[in-house]
Homo-oligomer: A and B are copies of this chain.
Amino acid sequence: MNHSAKTKQPDISLAICGYSRVLEIISDKWTALIIYALENGGVRYGEIERRIEGISKKMLTQTLRKLEWNGLVQRHITPTVPPMVEYSLTSLGGSLLQPMRELRQWGRDNYWHVEEARANYEAMSEK
């Protein structure tokens, strides 16, 4: 009753692949860094901005909104003047930390292999 039993392999569909769906959520340039900034608890807007080198207000706000929209981050406003806004991970957001840490670790352990491969590839192309 399911997909093509006679052909060698099932299709790989972008629309259905769990990985693609995760990427849609966490592959924006600043998303992961913001999640890491929040991994130890709630942090104020300005403090996140200070912690992450090079991020602009626009990108910070935009990325936080998307994280909120996806249910990974929650926003808590204390209506003083001026206002104080604190962001924190939801439990859904927290559940992403473990798998993300593993990818990060892979990057730390293996990035030099990647750089080596690139140098090698380019050396080959020139000959």
Contact = CB atoms under 8 A, between A and B. Distances in A.
A22 interface: yes
B17 A104 contact: yes
Interface string A24-37: 01010110110011
Nearest to A113: B92
Question: How many copies, total?
Answer: 2
Contacts of A85: none
Interface residues of A, number: 54
A12 B35 CA distance: 11
A36 B53 contact: no
B54 A14 contact: yes
A13 interface: yes
Contact of A37 (B12, B106, B118): B12
A52 B17 CA distance: 11
Interface of A: 8-9, 11-15, 17-23, 25, 27, 29-30, 32-33, 36-37, 47, 51-54, 68-72, 92, 95-96, 98-100, 102-108, 110-111, 113-114, 116-118, 120-121
